[in-house]
Every structure is written in structure tokens, then in C-alpha cells.
Amino acid sequence: MAAQDDRHPELREAVRALCRAYPDAYFREVDARRGYPDEFVAALTRAGWLAAMIPAEYGGPGLGLTEASVIMEEINRCGGNAGACHGQMYNMGTLLRHGSDAQKRRYLPPIAAGELRLQSMGVTEPAAGSDTTKIRTTAVRKGDRYVVNGQKVWISRVLHSDLMILLARTTPLPDVARKSDGMSVFIVDLRDAIGHGLTVQPIANMVNHETAELFFENLEIPAENLIGAEGQGFRYILDGLNAERTLIAAECIGDGYWFIDRVTAYVKDREVFGRPLGQNQGVQFPIAEAHIEVEAANLMRFDACRRFDAHEPCGAQANMAKYLAAKASWEAANACLQFHGGMGFAHEYDVERKFRETRLYQVAPVSTNMILAYVAEHVLGLPRSF
């Protein structure tokens, strides 16, 4: 089933062609062993899709967030899970927009060539949660190095990445004028850090997302790995988070179309009481409603992408796109599971796997309530609620 707004058809077909080599059975097997889709991610890397946003001068195709979002959408639309590799897309923005020329020359060409992976971002902490300004991980300058101590949680793909973007406090919270000041962003070379001040503890969870808890104990980072100006890291991270939320929206849109396609085909063929299941309005209406909501989310996604690529403010659009898309994909997932009946719970139909995967986005990377609070304050001008 084609979307009403099926932009970038040649790009879509190229990604679909790659995905055809990795059908449902491939992702089902990876999920069953709680593994990582190494072959699939390697194929995406070889094809250059994970370097989409790297400028041509550094060896990439120089595409924008719009095209990157289409790539992520198509992976999920084809039955895969872009969560295994989407980090490189949105982490790239922090380096591209705020990194020094030397950092770009050092890291971007090998990332574009597939020699390095930048898949992880270390922000969330156990005690801070969504209140990023309350993070406790510190980075203290000592000569030509920063010494990092603290803890991060729900950090994905650490064991499948070479580099990580890290947010840490370089000025204690009581010493800053605004609570969003005093945080800085660093590039961490995980190949050097793990086992030498950084301990990674995988977290078993409902979604096969290669997520871990990180413990920093006197980890030394070269001062040259500081991105941008010290103390301005929160602002830099927000750029990356807008990209992240928009890309997650695209993935949810891909999921939404997948669920709608699957359930539509199923209820056309499945006969109950002598008639197609899909002939009943009680079946038709939830599917139609989910489709309408996915289409609406799709439009907001492209508006957020356009603004991001034009370097215009896009916080509201990125948040709203993520909210609409996560809600739409979840409703599509519920309809798909419900109308498959018992078969929806069988692994061989892949509905339960995708159901688990798309449920995550009601909670992460930003919860629906946090988005509503953002819109209430920053769009509607209501008093800050927290």
C-alpha cells in the first residue's frame, strides 16, 4: 500500500532493494537469540546509508535529515528495526554542527567509509531521567585531559559502536546561572575507554535494543575531544535530540504502514462466519483511523525535517512529529494484533515482535507527557509545570 505522500521514490526503492535481502525471518531469528543484526547493519554501512548526512567533502553523500528519515522509515516499513543503527544518523548532527574542523576531518571520513561507527549517545542517568539538567556525571579538566566519573543508563549500541557522544557536567549545578549551563559534550573513543575507566553492563529488556548501563571511574578523555565550547553542551545536545525525535517519528511511520499493510491483507483473506473479517465496520474503522493518523504524522515529520535542514527552529515540530507518529504506530499495532487474533501472538507472523518494538516509542527517547509539557509551555505559553 502506497502512502499518500510517498516522497523520494528512488531512494525508497534503493533501501527496499537492500532490505529484501533481510526478510522477516532474518529479524525474527536475531530477535529470538537477543542478538544484534550485524550483517544487516554492515550491508547498510557498505551501501553508504548510515553516512547519509555526512557532507561530500568528508566522503559522504551530503543528504539532509529528510533523506535520512526516509531511510529509517523504509527499514521499519520493510519489517526491520532501525533502532539497531539509527544512532549514527542523529549523533552525526552534534559533530557536524558543533564539532571543530579538526574533529570533522579526523572522524567523518572513516565514519563515511564504514571504518568507524558513531552509534551511541550517553545522556540519560538513573537519578535524572528526563530532567537532563540534573545529571551527575562529571568531567573535570586536569591539564590536557578531562577525568570523567558517574553513571549512565539506557544507553544503546555501546558494544556495537566505536565512538560515543557523552554529556557531562563540567561546572557544578549550584555554580551556574541557569541550570542548563555548565554541561559539555565530548567524543569518547569506546575502543580505548571500555575496560580503562568505563564499564558496560548490558540491560536485558522487553525490546531487543542492545541497551546498557555505563559506569565511569576516572575515565580520561583528551581535552581535544571536547565538542564546541565548554559549558554549552546542553544546547548542542538539543540539536541532536530534535534530529533524534524526527527520525524516531519516521521509524514509527514505517512501523505504522507495516502494521496497516499486514492487517489489511490479513482481514481481506481471513473469513469468519462466512464473510471476510475486513467486511465488518468494527474491523475497518480502527484500521482506517490508524491509517489517517499515520498519514497526518507523516506530514508533520516532513515539516520537522524541512525546518531542521534549513537550520530553522524545529523543536515544536520535532516533538509533535514524534508524538503523532508514536501514537499512530501504537494504534496501528493494536489493530494489527487484535484482528490477527491468536495468530498475532505467534512469532512466525512477526506482529508480536513489531508490536514490542513500536511500544517503546511511547516512552523513549522522550515520553509523551514530556512532549505535551513542552508544547504547553513553549507553543501555548502556559506556565512551566516542572
241-275 per-position pLDDT tens digit: 999 999 999 999 999 999 999 999 999 999 999 99
Scored b (16 or more CB within 10 A) or e, 44-73 reads: bbeebbbbbbbeeebbbeebebbbbbbbbb
What is the pLDDT at residue 208? 79
Contact between residue 39 and residue 22 where contact means Cβ atoms under 8 Å apart:
yes
pLDDT at 207: 87
Q: Which residues of the chain, if any, have pLDDT below 50?
A: 1-2
Q: Could you tell me the pTM of the whole model?
A: 0.95
Answer whether 324's CB lies under 8 Å from 293's CB.
Answer: yes
In eight-state DSSP terms, residue 122 is E
Give CA–CA dist 318/238, Å, rounded. 11
**d(Cα 363, Cα 376) in Å, to the nearest integer?**
19
Strand bridging mode 163-169 / 118-122: parallel
Backbone angles phi, psi at 181, to 5 degrees: -85, 165
Which residues form the catalytic set? 244
Which amino acid does the sequence have at 339? F
| Model pLDDT, residue 4 | 52
Q: Say what the pLDDT of residue 232 is.
A: 97
| pLDDT for 240 | 85
| Side chain identity, residue 287 | I
pLDDT attached to residue 2: 46
Backbone φ and ψ for 213, nearest 5 degrees, come out as: -105, 140
Strand partners, 147: 140, 220
Residue 180 CA to residue 333 CA, distance in Å, equals 37
What pLDDT score was predicted for residue 92? 85
